[in-house]
Amino acid sequence: MATSLRAFVFLDSLQPQLAAHICTTCRGYFPVPYVASLFVEIAPGMAIHGIIDTALKNTRVFPATLVVERAYGMLEVHHEDKGEVRSAGDSILKFLEAKEEDRIKPKLVSNTVIRAIEPMHAMILDKIRFGSLIEPGESLFILECEPAAYAALAANEAEKAANVKLVDVTPYGAFGRLYMAGSEAEIDAAAAAAVAALKGLTGKEPASLKDK
pLDDT tens string 179-201? 999 999 999 999 999 999 999 99
Sorted by where each begins, the domain ranges of the chain are 4-102, 107-200
The contacts found for 52-56 with CB under 8 angstroms, 24 or more apart, are: 52/77, 54/91, 54/92, 54/94, 54/95, 55/88, 55/91, 55/92
**pTM for the full model?**
0.93
pLDDT band at 85 (very low <50, low <70, confident <90, very high): very high
**What is the 3-state secondary structure of 28-78?**
CCCCCCCCEEEEEEEECHHHHHHHHHHHHHHCCCEEEEEEECCCCEEEEEE
pLDDT band at 208 (very low <50, low <70, confident <90, very high): low
Q: Do 4-102 and 107-200 fold alike per CATH?
A: yes
Specify the 3-state DSSP secondary structure of 203.
coil
Across the range 160-168, mean pLDDT stands at: 98
What's the pLDDT at 72?
97
Hey, which residues does 77 pair with through a beta bridge?
38, 63
What's the pLDDT at 212?
43
Q: Which of residues 112 and 207 earns the better pLDDT score?
A: 112
pLDDT band at 1 (very low <50, low <70, confident <90, very high): low
Across the range 73-81, mean pLDDT stands at: 98
pLDDT tens string 18-29? 999 999 999 999
Across the range 138-147, mean pLDDT stands at: 98
| E strands, the chain, in order | 4-11, 36-43, 62-68, 73-79, 107-114, 139-146, 165-170, 176-182
pLDDT tens string 40-75? 999 999 999 999 999 999 999 999 999 999 899 999
- pLDDT > 50? residue 210: no
**d(C-alpha 101, C-alpha 195), whole Å:** 20
The pairing of strands 36-43 and 107-114 is unpaired
Across the range 78-88, mean pLDDT stands at: 98
**d(C-alpha 75, C-alpha 162), whole Å:** 27
The architecture CATH gives domain 107-200: 2-Layer Sandwich (3.30)
The architecture CATH gives domain 4-102: 2-Layer Sandwich (3.30)
Query: 189: part of which helix (H) or strand (E)?
Result: helix 184-199
Percent of the chain whose predicted confidence (pLDDT) is above 70:
96
